[in-house]
Structure 1
Amino acid sequence: MLWWRMINQKSLERRIKRHIIAGKHTLFGAIQPGLEEAGERELSQLGLTPVREKEPGSLCTNISLDELWKTVLLSRSFSRLYLRLDSFKSSGFMELKQKLARIQWSLYLREGCSFKIKLTTRHCRLHVEDKIIKSLNHCMQDHYVQLEGRPPVYTDTKEKDAAIQTIIIRGVDDHFTISLDAGGGALYERGYRKFINDAPLKENIAAALLILSDLPENTLLLDAMSGSGTFALEGLGYSRGLLTAPNRNYPFENWPSFRPGRFQWLKKEIMKEMKPGWQIAAADIDEKSIGAGRENLKLMASQCSVDPGACEFIKEDFFNKTALIDSGDRKPFLILNPPYGRRLSLEDQEAFFRKIGRQILEKYKGIPWGIIVPGLECEKALGLKWEKKYLFKNGGYPVSYLLGICR
């Protein structure tokens, strides 16, 4: 038996090298609907060819294993990244089992590893969650038994652990996709923004908006309502090409195709390519928010090996300040995420955005800007002519990101 297992293992290693390490795969990226262009730009910057799928907020690309690692390490605009294993139509459980059985699970999951399943269905004849999960589990067990190996173990734990592989089953109109979570859950969790204020902007959305702003390398980013520093820290990381979450453990590190030496070499190469990046000036009227921003900057600097002097947090009122406009030889860009929603009534919001518009017209002539605006009424109250507009949802509120310049 040991002699057979040794030959079987060598055969498996050859198949992994041929089909996984040397092969091409489909990477699926989930991004905030309305901001797909940011994901397309980011994938293009990594030398990949993005393709939009029918579902809003869905992009995919063909990718090698090394490219997958690099994309997960550097991507900032995506909320999740999945390795797609298969895609098929199915309207009956017998058909589902047959198609799940054709997946070569041993190429992707180690013997005896733990896995959990995330299942979503919409307009599917197959919608009984328990039966779908059992079908996948049985197919996987049969596959490993045929190889005389130990099948992976299913768990329904809610624990966040990169060692527990999440398998994504998604069904829409009887069309199913089977994927592995490559990033390990929500990618906006960078690991260094521990201190937050009320209603923080998610990091991946902030990064997407900065990417859409298309700023030059010599930018001075004026984050004039910084809160705890989401725009500031994302600008610092994105403009330098830093690792998105340097202390994060990824599920692909437990795949049988993972090569630790190659992965460490790739991370070192990424760090060698680090760029000078933007200078960041962040300001807020709230002392607590500024304190949180400074603490987050310290954590980021220690984890990412970046100079904290490239980003400054100042307690200052946007409607009174003028000091940040002196940009020297850098090109200033004003970015704002003003308070809105439950924190202000509709009348107060309109008056507030009207005041913002007047301040920009008076104090920021000739300086390009990007502003998150909640709804058409506030957009009208702002009174500024925009050149580009992106519609999306933030915290459940329909908002727009306006880009323009007061000439």
Structure 2
Amino acid sequence: MEQLIEDIYRAQSRRVLATLIRLLGDFDQAEEALHDAFASAARAWPRDGVPGNPFSWLVSTGRHKAIDRIRRRSRFDASLKDIEDSLYGEADAAEIGNMELVGDDMLRLIFTCCHPAIPCEAQMALALREVCGLTTEEIAHAFLVPTPTVAQRIVRAKSKIRSDRIPYEVPDLDELPQRLERVLHVIYLVFNEGYSASWGTEVVRADLTAEAIRLARLVADLLPHPDVEGLLALMLLQDSRGLARRADDRSLVLIAEQDRSTWDRGKIEEGMDLLRRAMEPGEVGLYTVQAAIAAEHARARTPEATDWPRIAAYYDLLMTAQPSPIVELNRAVAIAMSEGPQRGLEIIDCILASGKLGSYHLAHAARADFLRQLDRKAEAITAYERALSLCQQGPELAFLRKRISQLTAPPEGQ
């Protein structure tokens, strides 16, 4: 039962939270109600059995716990009386089961997190906290910034929502274009956290990748736009490889070693069609360029057939449009695949020498792999160990240990 509750928390807690925010009108109260609901489930479900609709049970329980808490506090604080009164009524109970409302709650949550009144850095931190459920420490690790900095951003964002009475809603059509870029970025972050989880024991969090794709489809219905099509194409093309990225023992499988027959051809075809449409206007966005990179992998029936020079050229475009150390790292890998590991090593050494990505485990892992290919074993082991010390994701830790074990094992026959 404990594992079942944990699985339900993993799959539904973000949707429960989003609906509780709609019903309670406050982030902190909703988070407290979410934890109360699951604590109640841990006590009641082993005794009474799992309800037929766990989602509705959790939302209803969390809402009632919040009402009880506000009622107790309102005895000592008259300012809470109006809040207490506003939470009662049969309409709210009906809304709990209204799946049309529930289906849009995550989109409402993202638009609230991305309100222009909230600084961009705080938007991203708040969205990863509320939409993905990451801890403050995990968000800090993802952004390569100190944990207290992230905590302050989240607190200030919530305070801004309260003080400015930012509505929990999808904006009117005339406001959508100015909010689109940030909303798409949040959806992209949600997908990335699902496709390459920054923590935990799973290579892929299918609940997050599916939610990100669903949200992008909702945005596309609200506001058809090439950038939305480009992002949706990118996510579908990458998600088509999701199952192949995990071995039977849940370890990570690199793209060169994946069974390409297991790639989802339906998602690839839809992604390719969306990519063509996104490129029709002529001026393409960043997500469309990334989708074009994913498309090159999807087209290649074997690893050797991959057009790495073309992929490197796409990364050149990204470096021109929006330079970043991560793009530079991916470009180094593409160049290494087309020009050899020595060239890739030179680029990564320049990145690390500049002070960029020193605490990013994938930079050290890529460097280690180039050293391994160059048969510089001792240096490769050191680089893998550095990556290992920075990594927080279970399957990646196992992969890095496996690489070190391969390099330290005595040659066969000895």
Common fold, TM-score beyond 0.5?
no
* RCO comparison, higher one (Cα < 8 Å, 6+): 1
Pick the structure with more strand per residue: 1
- TM-score between both structures, scaled by the size of structure 2: 0.28
